[in-house]
Amino acid sequence: MDAELTVGLYSCVVTAPQTRFPLDYVNKTVSLKYRGQESFFHLSHGLFSSNDVDAGTRLLLKIVAARVDLSTLTSVLDVGCGMGVIGISIARAAARAHVTFQDRDALAVAFARENANANKVQNADFDCGLAFRNLDGRTFDLVVSNLPAKAGRPVLESFFKTVPHLLSRSGIAAVVIVEPLSQLARDSIQQSDCLLFHAESTSQHSVFLFRKAENVPARAAAIPGIGPYLRARQSFSSGGIDYELETAYNLPDFDTVGYGVELAQEILSSAVIKGDVLFWNPGQGHLPVYAERKSPGGFASVTTAGRDALELEIAGRNMASAGREAISAFLLPTEAGLTEALSPGSLDLLCAMLHPVPKAPWHMDLALSAQALLRKGGALLAAGSSTDVFRVLDQCRSFKIAESVKRLGHRAVLLRAR
């Protein structure tokens, strides 16, 4: 079932269709024994902990087993689930529990779903989006998370403020965080409506177990919007075009424009803006906002797509501020998903910022998607490192190079479909 949401007050709707599992993105398969049951997990170079189950996850599971009566659980929320190790391990040990897996990365959700199926975890649902969205007012007996260090202080503080209002009457939250951020976590717990009842640390990680304080009134959780992710509003200029963006934590190009984006903007500076366009990996929104400022309303329709829900939200907000509110957006685990989300021959321009996954056929998937989706005479704009662009060119031999620019190990090319 697709997950849809409206971004703020804007008419950018982000949809997360379930696409075929990208088997070619599996790096290796590992096993983990928990509470007497052995589970198997596909890992990917595109996700956190691609070689084995990480030490923080193992520590969290160990302490949950020792401190939580898993037999009593009926509902579990795994926030930032990654490949699903925590939620799946608990689901297999807590037979009565329904587990909700949530991650902003569509590739992570695809792997969590596949791993759950492989381990016969059926009492589960999966949501691709920012933390705590799409929960429909539900509360949980257990909320677990391996908190990402790179999330940023405001996001982590918001997490701890929100969690107590998602817990059932006897609910427990259990989190693990890297040791340098353990004091931030402890302080945030103590300053929120929580009661910390167990903490345990190693040289690398700290685990905290807490519950809602007794004096906290029962009320629906105030689900945080995009506010905690926002960094600042920044001014940018390229090719004589000035524009502003709201920038987000944990995404690149927040204060300066990277070479790949800069070269892509250079190519678009002389392009005729028209037809139906898709921006793959829109990031903060530099390229789509630049195109909109260059030729307001020039595109007949604008679509964004990528793995990261935060990218699609911030790019949607910035496009709305630039005057383009009617945007479709698709959360997809890989470039191959584009052909499942869009109709053949539906695009005049596909702008792709290249974010390769090592040892995965992302370049083949992009080429095949471009061939299927572009109309005759349509164009593929690809930008990234020179090496990555070369890999795309090697797969796009049926296209004609219309323009190419290089700078300091980066390249952007405009290819025309014959």
The pairing of beta strand 299-306 with beta strand 4-6: unpaired
Apex 41 CA angle, 36 and 203, nearest 5: 75
* pLDDT of amino acid 215: 73
Question: In the structure encoding, which two tokens stand for residue 31, read together?
Answer: 């096993």
Topology (CATH) of 229-417: Rossmann fold (3.40.50)
Nearest to 202 by CA among 79, 84, 58, 85: 58
* pLDDT of amino acid 219: 58
Nearest to 391 by CA among 345, 349, 360: 360
* pLDDT of amino acid 326: 81
The pairing of beta strand 167-178 with beta strand 205-212: antiparallel
The DSSP string of 9-42 is TS-EEEE-------GGG--EEEEEEETTEEEEEE
Instruction: Give the residue extent of every domain in the chain.
Output: 21-212, 229-417
Task: Determine what percent of the chain falls in helix, strand and coil, rounding each to the nearest 5.
Answer: 35, 35, 35
* pLDDT of amino acid 378: 96
Tell me how far apart the alpha carbons of residues 156 and 213 are, in angstroms, rounded to a whole number. Answer: 19
Reported as a single tens digit per residue, the pLDDT across 67-98 is 999 999 999 999 999 999 999 999 999 999 99
Tell me how far apart the alpha carbons of residues 234 and 232 are, in angstroms, rounded to a whole number. Answer: 6
Contact 413, 397 (CB under 8 A): no
CA quadruple 106, 112, 115, 121: dihedral positive or negative? negative
- Other residues' Cβ atoms within 10 Å of the Cβ of residue 233: 11
Mean pLDDT score across all residues of the chain: 93
Contact 220, 247 (CB under 8 A): no
* pLDDT of amino acid 355: 97
Output the pTM of the full model.
0.95
* pLDDT of amino acid 7: 44
Contact 132, 221 (CB under 8 A): yes
Length of the chain: 418
Contact 208, 201 (CB under 8 A): no
* pLDDT of amino acid 177: 98
Whether 21-212 shares its CATH topology with 229-417 is answered yes
CATH code, 21-212: 3.40.50.150
Nearest to 228 by CA among 127, 148, 130, 342: 130
Sites in the chain below the pLDDT cut of 50: 1-10
